[in-house]
Each structure stands twice: as structure tokens, then as C-alpha cells.
Amino acid sequence: MNRMACDRDAGLRLIELGIAADRIGKLVLSFLVRLHRGPSVFLAITTITLGGGFLSGCSGPLSTMDPAGPSAEAINSIWWAMLAGAAAIFLLVGGLLAWAFVRRGDGTVSARTWIVGGGLIFPTVVLLMLLAYGLVIGERLLPRSGPDVVEVEARSSRWQWTFHHRRADGSVLSTPGVLHIPAGRPVDVVLTTQDVIHAFWVPRLAGKMDAIPGHRNVLRIEAGAPGTHPGICAEYCGIGHARHSFRVVVHDEAGWARFLAGEGA
């Protein structure tokens, strides 16, 4: 009886696999038929659908593609510049490949021209332009002293961030898990850690930076408007890494004054 039941189950599994294979075959056939009958329309619909899906992932509380401050906007511009450079190289290679298929006649281009022009000059120019742009933008991200700069110490441990805000009278206001900053003013976050390496990252406000034992690293962040932004630890630091997160609360001028007075902590 057990053997008969096993044989019956195996037969049912084979039937289910056959049905699934038949459905997959019909889907593939339908795809090919549509592509043959109306390739331009079908490809346009497919491109729009896939493009919309990809672009929908460019926004959100942890998206670097949706910056909420000048530092994040600068980093985002570097990404777009690198994408443009990569696209230029890709289009050149693709264009040359297409030209090789469609060109007519016996005219040939010397190997020296291909190597020097396409292999040395073009990529060198593109990469040098990207390097220069990255250096200019990177210079803007460096923390520099100024009358409007706010300094906050972010002390990390497994698995919590504690932020220490220094008031004008020299006293310190500590807030575990929540970083308070004013809108429209640069903030230098001094990163320290009590145990292992952690990484401070608020994707919509700035890039990421490591907190290293025995070192004090400074990250410049700035928010353009009041709001709340999630932050995470971007360096694996143990079994509690997944919950090693924090919030950044951005205050307007009045809210910042209330926070420093101890009313909004």
C-alpha cells in the first residue's frame, strides 16, 4: 500500500510538472508572437513597464536617489555623472559594433586608429572628466569650520547609537537612538565607537563613514527642510546589526531652540 501511494504521488508530481512546463511554453510562445507582430509597440510597452518599476525604486526613506540635503545632492550628482560617462562608453562600443554589421564596401580602418582613438583617447578623456568632477564635488563635502556649523558626537556600541549635543553653556544633552539637527545648517557628526567598527549612514542626507575604535572621524551632513530621516549602520557588526538603526529629526529654528532648552528631547 505504501509503495502504491508513493507511486501515485510521483505520478501526480510528474503531471504537475508537465502542466507547469506547458504553461511556460505557452508564455514563451505568446512573447515571441507578440514580438514578431508588433516589435516596436511591444518593446515600447515592455520598456515603459520595466523603466517604471526601476524608477519606483529610486525614492523612499533609504534611497540615495532622493536626496534631502546639499551633501546628498552632491553625491547624487556624482552618481549621475558616472552613469553618463558609462553610457557614453557603452553607446560608443554599441555604435561601433552596429557599424561593423551594416557598413558596406571594402574600406577598412587601421588598427592603430582603433587602438589610439577608441582604446586610449576616448576612455581617457571620459575618465579624466569624471575624476575632475569627483574631486570638485568631493571638496565640497569636506567638513570646514564656520559660525553656523553644529557639532554632534555620535557614539556607537553594539547595538545602539547615542548622540551628544553640546549646548551654548557647555552642558551636553544626550539622546539615544535619535539625532537632532537644525534645518539649513551644516552639522559635523564626530563618529566614535566603544567596541567594533560601525558605519554611520543617513542615505538622504550624506554619504557613509566608519566609526573606528580609537579614532574620531567627522562627517558633514545637512538637511534642507524639517522632517525625519532613518539612519542605519552600514557595517556588519554582529548578530544585532539588523536592528542597529537610528532616526534623524530635523528641526526648524524654533524647534531647534526648544530642543536645546530640553523641551523636545
pLDDT digits (tens, 9 = 90+) for 65-98: 888 989 899 989 888 888 888 888 888 888 877 8
Domain span including residue 227: 150-260
Whether the predicted model's global pTM rises above the 0.75 cut: no
pLDDT in tens, 189-200: 999 999 999 999
Same domain, 172 and 247: yes
- For the chain, give the DSSP string: -HHHHHHHHHHHHHHHHHHHHHHHHHHHHHHHHHHHH-HHHHHHHHHHHHHHHHHHTT-STT-TTS--SHHHHHHHHHHHHHHHHHHHHHHHHHHHHHHHHH--SS----HHHIIIIIIIIHHHHHHHHHHHHHHHHHHHTS----TT-EEEEEEEETTEEEEEEEPTTS-EEEEETEEEEETTS-EEEEEEESSS-EEEE-TTT---EEE-TT--EEEEE--SSSEEEEEEE-S--STTGGG-EEEEEEE-HHHHHHHHTTS--
Same domain, 240 and 158: yes
d(CA 27, CA 182): 55
What is the Cα gyration radius of the chain? 28
Answer whether residue 221 shows pLDDT above 90: yes
Same domain, 132 and 202: no
Is the residue at 60 inside a domain?
no
Same domain, 181 and 123: no
Same domain, 234 and 188: yes
pLDDT in tens, 8-24: 444 445 455 556 555 55
**221-247 average pLDDT score:** 91
Answer whether residue 118 shows pLDDT above 70: yes
Is the residue at 62 inside a domain?
no
Same domain, 251 and 182: yes
Same domain, 37 and 100: no
d(CA 203, CA 220): 13
**44-56 average pLDDT score:** 52
Work out how many domains the chain is built from and give that number. Answer: 3
| Residue 233's pLDDT band (cuts 50, 70, 90) | very high
Q: What percent of the chain has pLDDT over 90?
A: 32
Answer whether residue 4 shows pLDDT above 60: no
The dihedral of CA 219, 223, 228, 234: what is its sign? Answer: negative
